């Protein structure tokens, strides 16, 4: 009898252990992490991090380890880089509910006081309230409310380009920065926004520096935030204090200005902030208050987002400078549709497939964000027999996704034609706009706005200007080296381009715009 129970107990215990082992094996730790370099005790893969540009390094490393998912250990924190579009869609899109959090960056969020930034805002109710408010203004069906502002900003850009073409890179920055000020706060694109924009440029640079993961040790060892500023080696505290003051000033002063005008009933131009203040009683039912409006306004203007568009426009000028054949084909299409009689508009887009293909190819060839934004995994996950632990930072390598030869043959070349078939956009070719703007719940809410601005800028620039290589003293073309900055938003390093109005008629179209 005893033996019988002992035997049954043994079976139960053995089965329980077996089940526990199976469960353990299939739920977590016994599955391997995704492949990656082995690393060292304590520091993990700190020494294995590729040189800049880091996205190219990750692409090479993924090939070396023959994997789409690359794993690195950064002093005990897990980083998983997704080098394939399908893997990114499977995890960040289809399992978005557990991949929607953001990494914690105490330097930007706490020490520099930018908790309003979406790039570090944890997934949760506060994020939802901010996100819904932004979506209300920028979703595909209402985003054309900003078309007048886009027209005005692009036309000012063309004027500036005709006056001082050699300063085109500066004009691009002003185009996107002043438009953001106009959209967020209703400032006039012109001297009014120029003043505000130029005073906040330093603060924006500090923000950009701090947003690069790994710049400040305090992001890896958050306890360092308690170190006093006078302590040797605590220079980051001084950096944070000064940056916080400048950022607060940059973000608060336009908001305060609009709020005072609103209260005095002297508002002259519509804007995101004005409309929100008008609708506050209604919006407050959704959890919106003045602080939320101030934060979202800051994200539109001060966050890095309009710099993404600026990077894409600069890359367009680089591509046009390097590829005269593309400029010729684009201008032929524009002339056929417009007859040189007027400037192109949004309604012309269906008749301008080559221009659309140029925009797609610029975004694929030199994505403004070659590495997407980090997503923080909220619970343990497994994928194709690999284990990804809760807390891991998962990031899509857009560069690698756009360099996949089986999707984009001759991927390093700039070829707008790859998106065309029989004179139309070829729907069989993977649209880079589907992965460039990120994934799931965190997908870029400004993408429709950005694409409208890009289309109009490229179309109107090519309709009115020739873009080509400058010549040196001996008449030889100066070929830009095409190098880019290594930061989270990658911009072409300054280069020269010969930009001239196509004709006096083109100049008159600009004058009349």
Smallest CA-to-CA distance from 218 within 202, 203, 246, 240 is with 240
Token pair 């916080």 in the structure block, residue: 244
Assess 175 for contact with ligand HEM (CB under 6 A): no
| C-beta closer to ligand HEM: residue 22 or 443 | 443
Q: Which long-range contacts (CB under 8 A, 24 or more apart) does 104-110 make?
A: 104/219, 104/222, 104/376, 105/210, 105/211, 105/213, 105/219, 106/218, 106/219, 106/222, 106/225, 107/210, 107/215, 107/216, 107/218, 107/219, 107/236, 107/240, 108/207, 108/210, 108/211, 110/225
Rounded CA Rg of the chain: 26
Smallest CA-to-CA distance from 43 within 77, 81, 80 is with 77
| C-beta closer to ligand HEM: residue 207 or 239 | 207
Residues numbered 61-120 forming contacts with ligand HEM, rule: CB under 6 A: 118
Question: Taking contact as CB under 6 A, which single stretch among the options 253-261, 323-331, 432-440, 468-476 is the one that binds ligand HEM?
Answer: 432-440
Q: Which of 53, 297, 438, 492 binds ligand HEM (CB under 6 A)?
A: 438
The CB-of-176 to ligand HEM minimum distance in angstroms stands at: 8
| C-beta closer to ligand HEM: residue 236 or 439 | 439
Q: Which of 295, 368, 416, 432 binds ligand HEM (CB under 6 A)?
A: 368
Smallest CA-to-CA distance from 461 within 147, 148, 165 is with 165
Assess 373 for contact with ligand HEM (CB under 6 A): yes
Pair of tokens at residue 35: 């492949």
Q: Which of 78, 415, 442, 491 binds ligand HEM (CB under 6 A)?
A: 442
Residues numbered 238-257 forming contacts with ligand HEM, rule: CB under 6 A: none
Smallest CA-to-CA distance from 449 within 29, 149, 223, 67 is with 149
| 243, 201 Cβ separation under 8 angstroms | no
| C-beta closer to ligand HEM: residue 117 or 261 | 117
| Phi, psi (deg, nearest 5) at residue 176 | -75, -35
Name residue 498's beta-bridge partners.
468
Assess 366 for contact with ligand HEM (CB under 6 A): no
Q: Which of 450, 463, 488, 510 binds ligand HEM (CB under 6 A)?
A: 450
| Phi, psi (deg, nearest 5) at residue 387 | -105, 130
Question: Taking contact as CB under 6 A, which single stretch among the options 49-57, 76-84, 278-286, 446-454 is the one that binds ligand HEM?
Answer: 446-454
Question: Taking contact as CB under 6 A, which single stretch among the options 154-162, 217-225, 241-249, 302-310 is the one that binds ligand HEM?
Answer: 302-310
Q: Which of 34, 177, 353, 372 binds ligand HEM (CB under 6 A)?
A: 372
Residues that bind ligand HEM (CB under 6 A): 118, 131, 134, 138, 299-300, 305-306, 308-309, 312, 368-369, 372-373, 375, 436-439, 442-446, 449-450
């Amino acid at each position: 009898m005893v033996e019988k129970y002992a035997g049954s107990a043994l079976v139960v215990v053995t089965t329980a252990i077996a089940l526990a082992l199976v469960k353990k094996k299939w739920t977590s730790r016994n599955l391997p992490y995704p492949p990656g370099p082995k690393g060292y005790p304590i520091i993990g893969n700190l020494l294995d991090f590729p040189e800049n540009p880091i996205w190219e390094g990750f692409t090479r490393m993924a090939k070396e380890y023959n994997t789409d998912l690359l794993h690195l250990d950064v002093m005990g924190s897990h980083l998983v880089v997704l080098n394939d579009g399908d893997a990114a869609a499977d995890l960040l899109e289809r399992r978005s509910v557990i991949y929607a959090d953001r990494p914690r960056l105490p330097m930007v969020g706490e020490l520099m006081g930018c908790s309003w930034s979406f790039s570090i805002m944890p997934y949760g109710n506060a994020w939802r309230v901010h996100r819904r408010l932004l979506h209300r203004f920028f979703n595909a069906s209402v985003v054309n409310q900003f078309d007048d502002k886009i027209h005005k900003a692009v036309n000012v850009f063309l004027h500036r380009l005709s006056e001082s073409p050699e300063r085109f890179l500066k004009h691009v920055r002003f185009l996107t920065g002043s438009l953001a000020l106009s959209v967020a706060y209703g400032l006039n694109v012109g001297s009014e926004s120029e003043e505000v924009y130029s005073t906040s440029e330093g603060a924006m640079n500090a923000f950009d520096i701090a947003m690069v993961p790994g710049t400040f040790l305090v992001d890896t060892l958050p306890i360092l935030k308690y170190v006093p500023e006078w302590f040797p080696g605590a220079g980051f505290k001084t950096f944070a204090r000064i940056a916080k003051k400048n950022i607060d000033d940059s973000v608060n002063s336009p908001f305060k200005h609009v709020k005072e005008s609103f209260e005095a009933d002297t508002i002259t131009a519509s804007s995101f902030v004005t409309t929100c203040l008008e609708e506050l009683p209604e919006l407050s039912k959704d959890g919106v208050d003045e602080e939320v409006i101030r934060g979202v306004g800051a994200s539109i203007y001060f966050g890095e987002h309009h710099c993404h568009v600026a990077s894409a426009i600069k890359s367009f000028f680089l591509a046009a400078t390097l590829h005269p054949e593309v400029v010729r084909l684009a201008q032929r299409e524009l002339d056929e549709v417009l007859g040189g009689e007027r400037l192109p508009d949004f309604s012309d887009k269906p008749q301008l497939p080559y221009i659309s293909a140029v925009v797609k190819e610029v975004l694929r060839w030199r994505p403004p964000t070659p590495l997407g934004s980090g997503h923080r995994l909220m619970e343990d996950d497994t994928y194709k027999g690999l284990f990804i632990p809760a807390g891991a930072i998962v990031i899509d390598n857009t560069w690698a996704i756009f360099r996949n030869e089986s999707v984009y043959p001759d991927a390093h070349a700039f070829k707008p034609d790859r998106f065309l078939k029989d004179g139309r956009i070829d729907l069989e070719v993977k649209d880079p706009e589907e992965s460039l703007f990120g994934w799931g719940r965190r997908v870029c809410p400004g993408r429709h706005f950005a694409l409208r601005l890009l289309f109009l800028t490229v179309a109107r620039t090519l309709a009115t200007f020739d873009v080509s290589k400058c010549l040196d003293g001996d008449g030889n073309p100066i070929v830009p080296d095409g190098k880019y900055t290594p930061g989270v938003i990658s911009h072409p390093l300054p280069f020269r381009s010969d930009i001239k109005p196509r004709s006096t008629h083109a100049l008159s179209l600009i004058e009349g715009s």
